[in-house]
């Protein structure tokens, strides 16, 4: 069992020394220390992971002891424990390949968390979700129907609050979430976009890619913000295509990318390896 | 020594049978047969390569015998011989990594052609060009000076015509060629753009990529058309980057991509493996 | 609906012309024509795919009309129809990630075939198999127990014969199949090995890879022959690893490779894109 | 200008805190801090880079102040300065693509070091070496001639000692270096092997790869030890091949890999990013 500290602060001398010195004072046996100084942004980022055994502070006393140090460095920080399994909610539409892949990864504990519910606006995935013993909720959302969308969002918001969901995953959920939902849900939202952003934003990216005649297609996992397809990128991957690939071939090859890219992003988030800074991410992998 | 036929025609029954049958009639020993039917575009593309030895037609008699068949299929075609070394002109600006790499590949015959001249608007690459015994021409072109640009283009056009250049390679030549130049030069022009197009068109793509926080950068080789960065894509490649890469790191990693991508595109063109169709390419690799 | 001809023959003039001419005679509308001449082996390989509609031969009359032509070229050939869904049997041990992934791909018709049964020597995967409505058989096979192995193999052989299975997939089945089984089953067997063969043959390849300190790990799909890990390779893929990856990290990263590589190999086989020649494969992708 | 500390020590509490605390005491402004704890080997590795400006110790006083701390942790360490350009000697045989590529990278300062000499047992590369104003030495070494080999090695050893060479790069040098040479030269030796080791050790790896029918080929940069092709791996890369690639195609594709892989390894070494530990490397990239 380990504890993990994530922190960001303005660049200054002694950040690593002070924080690792603090941990050493209380007996931390450090397993991983990752540091990044962004010289352009004049900011320092740290991820420290140590064994809970032998460390003399619990979460509350850590806060009490560390807060003054952090404040003196204008540091933003969070503390996590590997023993805590975050609660996750998943939204899905008709295509269920990302969902099926994620559920298996959670089931073999490759992903560390608890899926509290899956909600979707197509019923196809329901039997598989129930196979894993996870609650399923039908959503009324459909393109162009604002009231159905609002109703769907309020259903999901209610589940999120009720369960205390800490991460929302859009596993090929094809409805754009409203700004109100993003504000009220509070939890971070990870989406998979089926292109190597910023190319081919918006709808039907595989068709756009075929039209342009690219020789490589991609997929992008990112945090959702109010600006569609503009949130901080977590991870991307690509695959080669050729003139002999039809749009259907791009869709097929893309499915494999989407599964890989979203599951990696979810793993990185759940293992506390990502720090958001402005519209970019620091990913300690 | 081999002969190569490249052809495009509207989709119809019997295209492969008729063309290979024709070649067989005259004794062709086929080494490579590549066929692509684009069902969306309803078009057929062929690349056939056979041994000249034992084939009873020369270029002229081939034309006489094949033209009626081709006409009956509304076929566009060209015939090439591996014994012919195409003449190539290269343009370069300050960054010479693509140029140095291309010159070495020509020198070891990895690329099959003859570099007739290199012209550039920075003198740095001149000694290396002369090391290979290739003529170098200074160009006056610089950003924002239309008359210097026009003068440069007329110098290059004169060399192209004088030498009978069949391919122009922009090896990181940072001046936009005028529409007039493209029309008058007649030869195809291959450019390397330092991003995975269509992302990050225009100037300073590595800076754009850093700003957006992408996790993968790329390079794109394409035929130059009147629309900047919009010509048919020949090849692309990518490399992973992370938060720890500065813009300078992207530039360094990008150099390797650019060298690989442009040299592959030039090789494919010179070995007659590319067919252009509208704004896309069929690449028989 | 399409028909597909796969053929191998000694290199000779006119192979493509004669076969495509034959098809044209009977009205074939060719969609894909792939040809490979292996100059080192002096052999020609063809894959031709055409629309059944408008073609005037059925399977039987094709055989009657084509056999004399094939015989004159010493050609080995097979004819397939896209309308036929091959029957597939899958064997699995404790790790079920490849199986779960394959079953989903069959369920969304990405893979064209019918899974007749899954048999395994660990019960973990049984509920998922039954979720898809596919029969499951328990196998007694375990390491070092020859009689249990023989019993398992005879159970599987009986199912194969009863169902008329045309392809056997070892989706991380960790028992070595006997030579007798391979002979009697008649159907081709595709296996996934968790290394980039020929490196790290045999057991515990991820441990071997970690010990050697490689910076890239891989997975290999191959046809099974009597020589363990020596059969013809169908496909391979790799992923980067670093000093910071433990053996458990290699296993996790490897799972993604294994899923991709075996599913691609099964797809290529079921879409009749692979020709075996000696200990190598020609893969028309 | 920066200073870089590389260190290895048995795992213990407080390593990072003590070393970064020490640096902070003397005013170091840390730019990069990389840490790796190898739990299997129970060892800790550190790479710390800080600005020389504002740091109050020079190399000598650093040694005096740091040695007792290092000794108390049984730490092996080395201190480097980015202002120091290491001296490099390169050996080459007939194929000069890696050499030509490396020389250009040194010339544009992508690689930080000074090439003191190039020595080779084929004269082809001599003009290019002299183009860069670097001394060239002819070597008599040829396969099966032990006395010519001994003579070549003594020529090279003399240059290494005379120049104070700190790194030897085998840029496709096809003669096996003797154990005596490796011992006496003292400097580390980086080699490029044209396969993804440990597959296809020894001679003619591209032929071996073609015979086995692999679908991916690779290249491996490693430190040379007395055991041929068994030294610690620094980096590897791969490229896809298919049935349509001849041995000559593998050789061509391999050249690009070899250039990339060796230049990356040399860059990592010269920027002090590699720590050797037993037969493995920790690479802080």
Q: Do C16 and B33 touch (CB under 8 A)?
A: yes
pLDDT at position B144 is 84
pLDDT at position D228 is 86
What DSSP letter does each residue of D76-130 carry, written as one string?
A: EEEEEETT---EEEEEE-S--HHHHHHHHHHHTTSS-SEEEEEEESSGGGHHHHH
Q: With beta carbons under 8 A apart, name residues in chain C contacting B37.
A: 30-32
d(CA D198, CA D56) in angstroms, rounded, equals 46
**For residue A95, what is the DSSP state?**
-
Q: End-to-end CA distance of chain A, in Å?
A: 19
**Strand bridging mode D76-81 / D43-51:** unpaired
B42/C contact by beta carbon, under 8 A? no
pLDDT digits (tens, 9 = 90+) for A268-280: 999 999 999 999 9
The token duo for D30 is 């840390």
Q: Do B108 and D97 touch (CB under 8 A)?
A: yes
Q: With beta carbons under 8 A apart, name residues in chain D contacting B104.
A: 97, 100-101
CB C167 within 8 A of CB C269: yes
Q: Do D37 and A16 touch (CB under 8 A)?
A: no
Q: Do D17 and A35 touch (CB under 8 A)?
A: no
Bridge partners (DSSP) of residue A118 are A90, A136
Q: Is C138 a catalytic residue?
A: no
CA separation (Å) from B183 to B170, B224, C81, D124?
16, 11, 49, 42
Question: Using CA of residue A259, residue A262, residue A264, residue A267, what is the dihedral sign?
Answer: negative
> pLDDT: is B143 or D68 the higher one?
D68
CB C120 within 8 A of CB C93: yes
Q: With beta carbons under 8 A apart, name residues in chain A contacting D27.
A: 13
Regarding pTM above 0.90, the answer is yes
What DSSP letter does each residue of C126-189 carry, written as one string?
A: HHHHHHTT--EEE----TT-HHHHHHHHHHHHHHHHHHT--EEEESS--SPPPHHHHHHH-S-E
Residue B202, pLDDT above cutoff 90: no
CB A167 within 8 A of CB A234: no
Helices (H), A168-285: 179-185, 205-212, 247-270
Q: With beta carbons under 8 A apart, name residues in chain B contacting D260.
A: 256
Give me the mean pLDDT over the A223-245 stretch.
96
Per the listing, tokens 């529409």 go with: B179
d(CA A215, CA B268) in angstroms, rounded, equals 14
Residue B57, pLDDT above cutoff 90: yes
Q: Do D35 and A37 touch (CB under 8 A)?
A: no
Instruction: Let me know how long chain A is.
Output: 285
C243/A contact by beta carbon, under 8 A? no
Q: What is the ipTM of this complex?
A: 0.95
Q: Do B256 and D260 touch (CB under 8 A)?
A: yes
The token duo for D29 is 């402004």
Q: Quick count: other Cβ atoms within 10 Å of Cβ C198?
A: 18
A32/D contact by beta carbon, under 8 A? yes
CB C33 within 8 A of CB B35: yes
* Residue C159 pLDDT class (50, 70, 90 cuts): very high
CB B112 within 8 A of CB B118: no
Bridge partners (DSSP) of residue A193 are A220
- The residues near D172 (Cβ < 8 Å, ≥ 6 apart) are D92, D93, D95, D96, D97, D98, D99, D192, D194, D258
The mean predicted confidence, pLDDT, of chain C is 96
Q: Do A108 and C131 touch (CB under 8 A)?
A: no
**C and D: number of Cβ contacts within 8 A:** 85
Report the share of chain B in percent with pLDDT over 90. 95
CA separation (Å) from B203 to B94, B95, B206, B220, B254?
15, 15, 9, 14, 15
CA of C248: which chain A residue's CA is closest?
A110
pLDDT digits (tens, 9 = 90+) for C242-252: 999 999 999 99
Which of B47, B95, B104 best probes binding to D when mutated, by most D CB atoms within 10 angstroms?
B104
The token duo for C121 is 């020597």
Residues of D designated catalytic: 229
Domain B87-283 falls under CATH 3.40.50.720:
no
D252/B contact by beta carbon, under 8 A? yes
Q: Do A38 and B243 touch (CB under 8 A)?
A: yes
Report the share of chain C in percent with pLDDT over 70. 100
Nearest-by-Cβ selection for C21 from B15, B21, B28: B21
Low-confidence ranges of chain D (pLDDT < 50): none
**For residue B176, what is the DSSP state?**
P
Per the listing, tokens 């120049």 go with: D163
The token duo for A200 is 């081919």
CB B54 within 8 A of CB A259: no
Report the side by side order of strands in the sheet with C2-10.
Answer: B76-81, B2-10, B43-51, B29-38, C29-38, C43-51, C2-10, C76-81
Class of CATH domain B2-81? alpha beta
Report the share of chain B in percent with pLDDT over 70. 100
Residue B142, pLDDT above cutoff 90: no
Q: End-to-end CA distance of chain B, in Å?
A: 19
pLDDT digits (tens, 9 = 90+) for A174-198: 999 999 999 999 899 999 999 999 9
* Residue A107 pLDDT class (50, 70, 90 cuts): very high
d(CA D182, CA C231) in angstroms, rounded, equals 40
Per the listing, tokens 């980086």 go with: D190
pLDDT digits (tens, 9 = 90+) for B216-253: 999 999 999 999 899 999 999 999 999 999 999 999 99
Cα-only R_g, chain D: 21
d(CA C73, CA D34) in angstroms, rounded, equals 65
d(CA B213, CA B98) in angstroms, rounded, equals 26
Residue burial A130-142, b: 16+ Cβ < 10 Å; e: rest: ebbebebbebebe
Residue burial D211-248, b: 16+ Cβ < 10 Å; e: rest: ebbbbbbbbbbbbbeeeebebbbbbbbbbebebbbeee
pLDDT at position A143 is 81
Break chain A into its structural domains and give their ranges. 2-81, 87-283
Beta strands, E only, chain D:
2-10, 29-38, 43-51, 76-81, 87-92, 114-120, 136-138, 167-170, 189-193, 216-223, 233-240, 274-277, 280-283
Under the phi-then-psi rule, with left for phi > 0, alpha for psi from -120 to 50, and beta for the rest, what region is C54?
Answer: left
Q: With beta carbons under 8 A apart, name residues in chain A contacting C127.
A: 131
C199/D contact by beta carbon, under 8 A? yes
User: Which residue among B229, B237, B245, B249 is the active-site one?
Assistant: B229
Q: With beta carbons under 8 A apart, name residues in chain D contacting A39.
A: 31
Closest-CA residue to D192 (of D92, D270, D96, D261): D261
CB A48 within 8 A of CB A30: yes
Which range among A111-125, A236-250, C32-46, C142-156 shows the weakest confidence by mean pLDDT?
C142-156
Nearest-by-Cβ selection for A21 from D21, D28, D34: D21
Residue A144, pLDDT above cutoff 90: no
CA separation (Å) from B151 to A179, B141, B148, B157, C126?
55, 8, 5, 10, 76
The token duo for B93 is 């600006």
pLDDT digits (tens, 9 = 90+) for B36-56: 999 888 999 999 999 999 999
Q: Do C35 and B30 touch (CB under 8 A)?
A: yes
CA torsion angle D249 D252 D254 D257 (round to 10): -130
CB B135 within 8 A of CB B63: no
Closest-CA residue to B259 (of B95, B139, B115, B32): B95
pLDDT digits (tens, 9 = 90+) for A31-87: 999 999 998 889 999 999 999 999 999 999 999 999 999 999 999 999 999 999 999
Q: Quick count: other Cβ atoms within 10 Å of Cβ D167?
A: 18
Residue B263, pLDDT above cutoff 90: yes
d(CA B261, CA B238) in angstroms, rounded, equals 9
d(CA C49, CA C216) in angstroms, rounded, equals 37
The mean predicted confidence, pLDDT, of chain D is 96
* Residue A118 pLDDT class (50, 70, 90 cuts): very high
């Amino acid at each position: 069992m380990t504890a993990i500290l994530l922190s960001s602060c303005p660049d200054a001398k002694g950040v690593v020394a002070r924080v690792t010195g603090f941990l050493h004072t209380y007996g931390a046996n450090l397993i991983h220390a990752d540091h990044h100084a962004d010289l352009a942004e004049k900011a320092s980022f740290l991820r420290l992971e140590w064994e809970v055994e032998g460390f003399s502070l619990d979460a509350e006393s850590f806060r009490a002891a560390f807060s003054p140090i952090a404040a003196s460095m204008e540091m933003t920080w969070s503390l996590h424990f590997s023993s805590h399994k975050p609660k996750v909610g998943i939204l899905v539409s008709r295509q269920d390949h990302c969902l099926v892949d994620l559920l298996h990864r959670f089931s073999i504990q490759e992903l560390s968390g608890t899926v509290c519910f899956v909600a979707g606006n197509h019923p196809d995935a329901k039997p598989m979700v129930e196979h894993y013993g996870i609650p399923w909720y039908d959503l009324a959302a459909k393109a162009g129907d604002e009231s159905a969308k609002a109703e769907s969002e309020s259903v999901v918001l209610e589940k999120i609050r009720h369960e205390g969901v800490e991460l929302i995953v859009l596993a090929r959920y094809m409805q754009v979430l409203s700004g109100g939902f993003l504000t009220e849900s509070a939890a971070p939202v990870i989406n998979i976009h089926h292109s190597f952003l910023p190319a081919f934003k918006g709808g039907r990216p595989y068709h756009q890619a075929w039209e342009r005649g690219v020789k490589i297609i991609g997929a992008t996992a990112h945090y959702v913000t109010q600006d569609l397809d503009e949130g901080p990128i977590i991870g991307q991957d690509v695959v080669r295509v050729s003139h002999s690939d039809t749009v259907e071939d791009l869709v097929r090859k893309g499915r494999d990318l989407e599964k890989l890219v979203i599951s990696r992003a979810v793993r990185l988030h759940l293992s506390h390896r990502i720090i958001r800074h402005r519209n970019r991410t620091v990913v300690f992998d």
